[in-house]
Structure 1
Amino acid sequence: MHTSATTGFDGAATVRLPRPAPPFARTPVLVLGALVTALLVVLAPRYDLVTDELYFLAAGKFHLDWGYMDQQPLVPFLAAFLDTAFPGSLLAFRLPAALATGLGVVVAALVAREFGGNGKAQVLAAAAYALSPWLLVNGHWLTASTMEPLQWTAMIWLLVRWIRLHGHGIRRDRLLLGIGLIAALAVQTKFQVVVLCAALLLSTAITGPRAVLARPALWVAVAIPVVTAVPTLWWQAANGWPALEMGTAVNEENDRLLLVPTALFYSGIVVGAVLCCYGLAVLLRSPALHAYRFLGWTTLAVLVFFLVTGGRPNYLAGLFGVLFAAASVGLQHRSGKLLWPACAISAVLPLAMLPVYPLDVLARHPEIPNYPRLYETGWPELTDAVTRAYRALPPEQQRRAVVVAETYYLAGALDVRGRPAGLPRVYSPHRGYWFFGAPPADADVVLYVGKRSLSDHFRRSQRLGKVESGLVNMARGNEITLYQAPAQPWPELWPRLRTL
């Protein structure tokens, strides 16, 4: 690693920064990124849309707005655009997710390069990113949590690059503006990026390099996402800040004691988990990365925030890339005899979690744990069952009927798949779907899909059937019930039915 001595940014102790950055390991890194993208493209048409994809697509096509309870408008807008431009194409729909994941592999290597990592370190950081079960499997879906890790990693890469160049008297303030533009996209994807930005600013103010805080370009960069977030914040305020309610729901769903172990599992069995832990130690203790020590404290600040307030383990996935990069730099001068066999072992789990199994095999072996099978299948059977029940109603009941689904993912599937089949608009009192509105006042016939009973809220009920599927999935086993004559007007009933 080529380094040069320089005075600390705040006139503090001398630090050493790479000058120039080591050559980019272009061929192996780009090949890794291309392989990841190609794998995800090949698997894109497998199975069906996942629960969150259905929700995002329904939100974008039928309920496009400036904000939502649980997500922001960027991915719903993108989902609706792709479905309109390429109707019915899972390949086109999921292509941005595949590209984002492959690009994340490359950006993780670029972070390692800015840290002073040689070709071996860059390839290791890229490989660790590619072998993360969460990052790879999530790259199969077009969701907000797919885009977030790339956004976080790219922001950190630009900041690290600015620091390295500034340490040698080179001012590239456009890098700071680039961070602001990416942050503007990130805040329209998920609000969690606000936690990252706050942690970065606080850690930099405490540990340095404080020179970045004196740059006007930084504060312009901060203003960009703030200004672009005004419509979303206005929507949140107008609707009673439902994002806070979503935070409470997430906290109740997750065990804080399992946050770190599960996040390490998501980062990768063997290689990913080890590199995350070692990478944090390198950022906090390595003299070679002294100028970037604030990133170690940023990681701890983000972790503590979600431990205290409650969060999902995948909220930490945006930090995997920088931790992989720091660990790879710390290991670059050590023997790699065990690293590459460990990478091969680490590849087994993420590959097994992808939709690689034929569905007839999964039908014969329901004991096989398979996340895509559980959340990506059963939607045609669900739609067919509800459509048959709706068509069996007398014509006068059909005219007054609405479909109400117990959960947002059932509602999303029936909204997306059911409308072309002739179903009326779908409603749900669950999470973000509740904000899409209550059934109209004259809707006194309800086809309810779910396992919860609403008998206390209607004067008449009749069980019509159950969703059957040859696979174990989220659709199978849901009851279809005909409810008539609501006991209260919908404006009074709808808040009583709401669930988080």
Structure 2
Amino acid sequence: MPVPTERTCAATGGAATAPPPFARGPVLLLAGLTALLLVLISGRYGYLSDELYFIAAGKHHLDWGYMDQQPLVPLLAAAIDSAAPGSLLALRSPAALIAAFGIAGTALLARELGADRRAQVIAAAACALSPWLLLSGHWLAAATVEPAQWLAVLWPVARWVRLHRAGIRRDRLLLLAGAVAAVGVQTKFQIVLLCAALLLGVLIAGPRELLRRPALWAGAALAAVAAVPALVWQVGHGWPAVDMAGVVGGENDRLLLPPAVLLYAGPVVGAALCCFGTWCLLRDEQLRHVRFLGWAVLLLTAFHLLAAGRPNYLSGLYGLVFAAGAIGFRQRATARWSWVVWPAFAVSAVVPLALLPITPLPVAARHPQLASYSRMYETGWPELTRTVADAYRSLPPEQRERTAIVAETYHLAAALDVLGPAAGLPPVHSPNRGYWFFGAPPDGATELLYVGAAEPLAPYFAESAAVAQVRTGSLVNLAQGVSVRHYSGPAQPWSRLWPRIRTG
């Protein structure tokens, strides 16, 4: 007996036939316009501090693992910067395409769940106006890639369930999900939590036939094998990822996680669809066959509440809950209430657009409350580099040969590591987070230029003096006010000092 296909089931009127038509025109237009906006503003301010970190890690310290992420994004950032040095357009174009993929992928996931064309557009528009998803589409970072990877796991799983209901076996979809997870573990291990939550959700709510498919476990094995190099690196370095989890937990308040997740989703439409979409996944009869997805949302939220995770750790679920919420809204909205949709989207656009680096820098300097994230993390790096380079050149030549540069934070170190060589600076070190693993200055470095606001090294040197301070005008950012100090006469060599000054 031949195995049923989607086409034959549709022709015979099967129980779960082909999904509703894809809203190709409006969805692709929305995705294209979003990508175009992100490309147009790609060079508006400057590098994000994390982008500098990824470039420095990939170009100067490429490894199988890092304290706070895995090698995929550093490798990609370094490759792009090598091909087009200093080009923000080249560096950020992949991020714009990933953002567009997320918008279209959200609509496709909604379609697999049974959304009609209008519900698909609502879900896609909510994705486009999520403050976090839109802002992260402006730069190349692990936080940019992760939501797209989660979506690329959820879509084949949802499609497998729909086809399974129609009696169609399409197990290669499970292999596809496993292959995406194998790529995802090269970005961050967070995708493992998604896969675990999906499996637990299926165990709770079904369809348990999914757990009996060999392709599922073959995909899981593929992801596990892909994770081996990073796991070996973690073991060899004392599991710094666990230390990083402690750092993150110390930075975040558990009670603030739910409101922050809703704010990142969107102050009006996004937050409403987050709450309503989760409810629909758990209670709506039309979505009963994917109830395991609702359980996955609950499990992941509970985990990050207990672990005090960052709000963006749940951003990979936005496409799913937006899709479910749009379906529920379309089921219940009468003509009388349908008119509120587009005004709500118009109001929701204010916050995400305000976060993008659209405001001219002179205006941002006069109004520090505007575009705070971009202004804080994307400006000030040229001034920092010039200040440190001037201080370095002011040293006598014989001192420069014995001088190391150490920065207080990885933000400062990465900026100097990427921008410093053109200004004549040597490699930069930092005891902060993942940069500590890049290594200490050589023991022969008896002079030190320390770049930072704090002065933790004074007890370890005989002499110190302030030599410069970074000025970025009236523009407030991470570099503003950072001091440069000259230390000499170390009490012990760097190989002994480095383990004592590590910071989280």
Shared fold, TM over 0.5: yes
Are residue 466 (structure 1) and residue 454 (structure 2) matched? no
- Structure 1 residue 18 displacement after superposition: 4.3
Alignment correspondent of 1:438: 440
Alignment correspondent of 2:107: 109
**SS in structure 2 at match of 1:420:** helix
Are residue 490 (structure 1) and residue 494 (structure 2) matched? yes
Unaligned residue ranges in structure 2 (runs of 5+): 1-13
Give, in whole Å, the separation in 1 of the partners of 2:482 and 2:147. Answer: 34
- Structure 1 residue 76 displacement after superposition: 0.1
- Contact kept? 2:403, 2:447, Cα under 8 Å: yes
TM-score by length of 1: 0.96
Give, in whole Å, the separation in 1 of the partners of 2:412 and 2:297. Answer: 36
Give, in whole Å, the separation in 2 of the partners of 1:465 and 1:459. Answer: 19
- Contact kept? 1:72, 1:190, Cα under 8 Å: yes
1:239-294 superposed Cα distances (whole Å, 9 cap, x missing partner): 00000000000000000000110010000011000000000000000111111000
- Structure 1 residue 368 displacement after superposition: 3.0
Give, in whole Å, the separation in 2 of the partners of 1:83 and 1:150. Answer: 22
Give, in whole Å, the separation in 2 of the partners of 1:450 and 1:341. Answer: 47
1:397-437 superposed Cα distances (whole Å, 9 cap, x missing partner): 10011110000000000000001211011000000000000
- Contact kept? 2:16, 2:165, Cα under 8 Å: no
Alignment correspondent of 1:50: 48
- Contact kept? 2:16, 2:163, Cα under 8 Å: no
Unaligned residue ranges in structure 1 (runs of 5+): 1-15
1:101-137 superposed Cα distances (whole Å, 9 cap, x missing partner): 1110001001110111100100000000000000001
Alignment correspondent of 2:355: 353
Amino acid at match of 2:463: R
Tell me which of 20, 28, 52 is aligned to 1:22.
Answer: 20
Give, in whole Å, the separation in 2 of the partners of 1:97 and 1:369. Answer: 19
Alignment correspondent of 2:379: 377
- Contact kept? 1:17, 1:116, Cα under 8 Å: no
Alignment correspondent of 2:324: 326
Are residue 419 (structure 1) and residue 421 (structure 2) matched? yes
Q: How does 1:192-271 map to 2 (within 5 A)?
A: 192-271=190-269
Give, in whole Å, the separation in 1 of the partners of 2:194 and 2:454. Answer: 38
Deviates more, 1:57-66 or 1:164-173: 164-173
**SS in structure 2 at match of 1:276:** helix
- Contact kept? 1:455, 1:461, Cα under 8 Å: yes
1:195-247 superposed Cα distances (whole Å, 9 cap, x missing partner): 11111111111210111111110001101111011110000000000000000
**SS in structure 2 at match of 1:252:** helix
Amino acid at match of 1:449: V
Give, in whole Å, the separation in 1 of the partners of 2:42 and 2:368. Answer: 22
**SS in structure 2 at match of 1:166:** helix
Are residue 121 (structure 1) and residue 129 (structure 2) matched? no
> What's the RMSD between the two structures over aligned residues?
1.0
Amino acid at match of 1:366: P
- Contact kept? 1:463, 1:481, Cα under 8 Å: yes
TM-score by length of 2: 0.95
- Structure 1 residue 310 displacement after superposition: 2.1
Give, in whole Å, the separation in 2 of the partners of 1:210 and 1:368. Answer: 50
Are residue 339 (structure 1) and residue 337 (structure 2) matched? no
Tell me which of 454, 458, 461 is aligned to 1:452.
Answer: 454
- Structure 1 residue 363 displacement after superposition: 2.1
Give, in whole Å, the separation in 2 of the partners of 1:184 and 1:97. Answer: 20
- Contact kept? 1:447, 1:482, Cα under 8 Å: yes
Alignment correspondent of 2:485: 481
- Structure 1 residue 19 displacement after superposition: 2.0
- Structure 1 residue 181 displacement after superposition: 1.1
Give, in whole Å, the separation in 1 of the partners of 2:47 and 2:330. Answer: 41
Are residue 94 (structure 1) and residue 80 (structure 2) matched? no
- Contact kept? 1:17, 1:164, Cα under 8 Å: no
Give, in whole Å, the separation in 2 of the partners of 1:86 and 1:424. Answer: 22
**SS in structure 1 at match of 2:449:** strand
Give, in whole Å, the separation in 2 of the partners of 1:225 and 1:124. Answer: 33
Give, in whole Å, the separation in 2 of the partners of 1:329 and 1:376. Answer: 38
User: Matched residue pairs, number?
Assistant: 485
- Contact kept? 2:364, 2:371, Cα under 8 Å: no
4+ runs of 1 displaced by more than 6 Å? none
**SS in structure 2 at match of 1:229:** helix
**SS in structure 1 at match of 2:424:** coil
Give, in whole Å, the separation in 2 of the partners of 1:362 and 1:195. Answer: 39
